[in-house]
A and B are shown apart, each in its own frame.
Chain A
Amino acid sequence: MNWDHFLLFALISLFFWGSGAIAAWKSNKPYRVYLWTGLGLMTFFAFIAGLWISLERPPMRTMGETRLWYSFFLPLAGLITYSRWKYKWILSFSFILSAVFICINIFKPEIHNKTLMPALQSPWFAPHVIVYMFAYAMLGAAVVMAIYLLWLKKKTIDHKEMELSDNLVYVGLSFMTLGMLFGALWAKEAWGHYWSWDPKETWAAITWIAYLVYIHFRLHQPYVYKKALVIMLVSFISLQMCWYGINYLPSAQGVSVHTYNMK
């Protein structure tokens, strides 16, 4: 399995996920939603697993590879949200977002070879990246919700809907915390210190505290919705900076030890 097979697997997965999203709108039989989305997840994961085997290393090094995980976790996060709150639109959104990341991987692939530098060869590698990608997916779903509530929804915001964004943020933040702390424990083994204020770490701290602002603001002002949602948007922007923005940030050029795919 290599990247030449990606297009096929991606199209099949998108077909399944799309069918799942349509089923969520139309059907009153929720098992169809689970079936279609589940099939899509299995297909996509089969590609990830195949790539993992053929690369002889976890496919998590390059930006393209982390996008792969993100494309996988978005529909999963969507499905979990759907199973809990039965929002018809959530799977459509996760489908669109996932499709965007798949398209980036199709049209702008990056160097994907087998090499994995010794610093990345660690049992911490997979949990660190997977947990982070899942967190990003949940927070991505939360921000979709925020955009919907802020600009697309015509009626006033319902308390239940704010609860959903809270829960997505809580789950996302708990995984982000785990990802960050796994990273700290790993850094101690690999680099000798658990926190070095590398640009990626600096932005990870910013993102983490920004989401804490959201959570504490919500606890203090549970009925001030729009300000809370704006805080969430700002937090999500700093997350983008942490994830890939630092690759382009002048102040981080050549300093970050987290840029493994930039040569």
Chain B
Amino acid sequence: MKRIAKKRNFGPQLVNTILPVLLAFVIGGIIISIIGENPFEVFKIMLGKSLFTAKGFSNTLHYASPLLLTGLAIAVTFKANIFNMGVEGQLLLGGFFAGIAGASLQIGSPLLHKIICMLIGMICGVLFALIPAILKAYYHVDEMVVTLTLNYAMIKVLEYLSSGPFREDGSGYVCTSMIRETAMFSRIGNSRITFFFVIALVVLLLMAFVMKRTKLGYEITAIGKNPEFSEASGMRVRRKIIMLMCLSGALAGLAGAGQMMSETFKYTLTFSGTTGLGWDGMLIALLGRHNPGGILLAAIFYSALKTGADNINMYTTVPKEIVGVLQGLIILFLAIRFFNEKYGFMEKIKAQKNSKEVVE
């Protein structure tokens, strides 16, 4: 029974997800044509190379790996109606200290070194997520406001740490020391993809299992739908909030550590890019409908867009910030449901007919 109901809802859900993307591209296209470029040409350059060539696609997968994790980090909390907007800050902190550990620890075994760095990243993420979690669970402080502002505080602190105590002497710009070889994920083949993508995929599968098949997954959905009822029926909502925030922080911290060990290798002030990996995660979680399968597709799509943006700078005069504009537009349109998802298309028409007959 349940499965049939799900299938029927699939149509409107798909339309509700794809329509915002199309709308965003239409408006983005209008902006591009105002500048005086051909929008079809630009979108072709943007998506063509990063999705339809072997090397381009594996690069896309590489850049999708941290996005998978931040997308999950957001989905886990948003699904429970807790708004952890601090993923960006947790990711930065995790990445920073994973980088410090990667540069300063001397461990012979590459495997052990990598594991330690990733663990440190995750622990940092958890600790930073713990502050708003405890405030929310025990003092009813709105977690959204706290996480949003703590992001700014964290950026400032890391700016100080990377330009003061941990600054690499002799480099022309602000950055920390390069991590050691033993902590770096090496590239596979001639593309940029590393073993970190496999780790991200494994985590995704693990989280898919947790969200679909375990008690915790059920509780996430229940708390998201009705926290009072969940509390009354015996779930310890406070503890679950802290647990979910920690889980989210750990995922964000891991994403930061992975970004550090597979891509940047040192902390710079532009560590998480122009729109920020944590904020990208927001788009991915919303586009993927807080659903692991959806998150995988959304992360690959968005990563293709982002890597493709580097190409448009080479061939056209369109600034690559167009991706940020598209991102904002997609999120804006994702906020509204164009079609009611409780009914399939056919039932909706039938229901309208019935109600008309009643009136007559």
Q: Do the two chains bind? A: no
Chain B residues close to A by CB (< 8 Å): none
